[in-house]
Amino acid sequence: MQYRSQAVAKPYFVAAIALFVGQILFGLIIGLQYVVGDFLFPAIPFNVARMVHTNLLIVWLLFGFMGAAYYIVPEESERELESPKLALALFWIFLVAGALTILGYLLVPYAGLAKLTGNGAFPTMGREFLEQPTITKLGIVVVALGFLYNIGMTVLRGRKTVISLVLLMGLAGLAVFFLFSFYNPDNLVKDKYFWWWVVHLWVEGVWELILGSILAFVLIKVTGVDREVIEKWLYLIIAMTLITGIVGTGHHYYWIGTPGYWKWLGSVFSALEPIPFFMMTVFAFNMVNRRRREHPNKAATLWALGTSVMAFLGAGVWGFLHTLAPVNYYTHGTQITAAHGHMAFYGAYVMINLTIISYAMPLLRGRTAANSNRQQVLEMWAFWLMTVSIVFITLFLTAAGILQVWLQRAAETPMPYMVVQEKIALFYWLREITGLVFLAGLVAYIASFFVGADEPEAALAGGGAVQGAPASRLRRESL
């Protein structure tokens, strides 16, 4: 760790992992409720469990992004963080607000929670993924403003690199587009239209900038490849992300009452969206193949490569499968969408968070460069258990979705929704079993922080990463 203020990233990473566990547990509850409808009812109804599952996903990813920014920006800017105390204060505000919101979901009926938090005076609740009470949303804005001030001032007063500027642009976009969660028009078409400005332009727009910058940072550290080479790749990836992702929002506008030209625009541009993910895969493997040093943190390198592959498969390939309007006419809102969502979120954003945590946590815990060999072996087992599990979860949901499309929408005598759900129950059981394997992988991942922690760290080989040196020195050495 080169700068003391980078230490503020540690509580963000710890909170992210704890919330990740909660997200997976509620995912297993939902999965079981698909086949055992009254499981935990009425204590935790399906709609509440699903809301907690998706909200925890968003919140823990945000904790991870913020921790990543607090770790990366001081090193890229070659100066301490503008205000470590502000970063820690915002951490506790965000964590307490998030915990109270989740408890509100679980302990108070949603309508009562809306009344209790004054939603009637400023209504913003009731929309998927944006269910948070208005007061929570206002708290998120306060945290985002403080966070952007802290990161922005650190960048502006320090060395400016492509990585830090792209990261800052992504984080600023994340904050700006969240403001549309406060716009809640009575017109349902307008409501859905601008709702996607938050949901789509986050995950298929500005979040990809954050993903690209974190991946570039880790690859510079673990490969020693010239910064200039990696930054050129980053320029191309970001350009393609913005070109395809912004207009690609149109693939959400097919059936909500918007003009028909969105079917053409959405189909063409969203069909191009796999390109930046494919470039990211080529980029990551190219950099690792050209590496100039053997970094001892093999686990972080594995996560980095895995991110590029799984993001391409989940967001790129599985997204393309049902993005064209004629295909989407049948597949919209089926389990094929769920299959795409699971692999895309895991490949693109879960894995990039685990990549930066895998790289940074050994340093934040006092290591020189990497965990012990035993810890890394356990972490790599976790990688494979979670990754293979999510592949099978995606395949089972895809099979369920194809059968659902046929029975419910394409057959000459379509069946009712609930009848079809019974027909595809086998795939839900298989998904649940695979979900338990995923949980085992997550347990192994957490165990890797403790098992073997008292053993010596993996040895540097081939001129491994030079820790404690300014980034500029690393840059000169790589030339």
How far apart are the C-alpha atoms of 156 and 47, rounded to whole Å? 44
Give the separation between CA 67 and CA 88, rounded to whole angstroms: 11
Report CA Rg, the chain.
22
**How confident is the model over 221-278, as pLDDT tens digits?**
999 888 989 988 899 999 999 989 899 999 999 999 999 999 999 999 999 999 999 9
Q: What is the pLDDT of residue 140?
A: 93
The tens digit of pLDDT for each residue in 309-322 reads 999 999 999 999 99
pLDDT at 475 over 80: no
Is 460 a residue whose pLDDT tops 90? no
pLDDT tops 50 at residue 464 = no
Q: What is the mean pLDDT of residues 210-227?
A: 93
The reported pTM is: 0.93
Q: Say yes or no to pLDDT of 45 above 70.
A: yes
Please write the tens of the pLDDT for every residue from 385-417.
Answer: 999 999 999 999 999 999 999 999 999 999 999
CA–CA separation, 300 vs 356, rounded Å? 7
Say if residues 231 and 163 touch (Cβ distance below 8 Å). Answer: yes
Mean pLDDT, range 12-35, rounded to an integer:
98
How far is 210 from 203, CA to CA, in rounded Å? 10
Secondary structure (H, E, C), the chain: CCCHHHHHHHHHHHHHHHHHHHHHHHHHHHHHHHHCCCCCCCCCCHHHHHHHHHHHHHHHHHHHHHHHHHHHHHHHHCCCCCCHHHHHHHHHHHHHHHHHHHHHHHHCCHHHHHHHCCCCCCCCCCCCCCCCCHHHHHHHHHHHHHHHHHHHHHHHCCCCCHHHHHHHHHHHHHHHHHHHHHCCCCCHHHHHHHHHHHHHHHHHHHHHHHHHHHHHHHHHHHHCCCHHHHHHHHHHHHHHHHHHHHHHHHHHCCCCCCCCHHHHHHHHHHHCCHHHHHHHHHHHHHHHHCCCCECCCHHHHHHHHHHHHHHHHHHHHHHHHCCCHHHHHHHCCCHHHHHHHHHHHHHHHHHHHHHHHHHHHHHHCCCCCCCEHHHHHHHHHHHHHHHHHHHHHHHHHHHHHHHHHHHHHHCCCCCCHHHHHHHCHHHHHHHHHHHHHHHHHHHHHHHCCCCCCCCCECCCECCCCCCCCCHHHHHHHHC
Structure tokens at 278: 């494919």
- What is the average pLDDT across 14-42? 97
For residue 117, pLDDT over 60 is answered with yes
Provide the token pair at 116. Answer: 């209790």
The whole-number pLDDT of residue 294 equals: 82
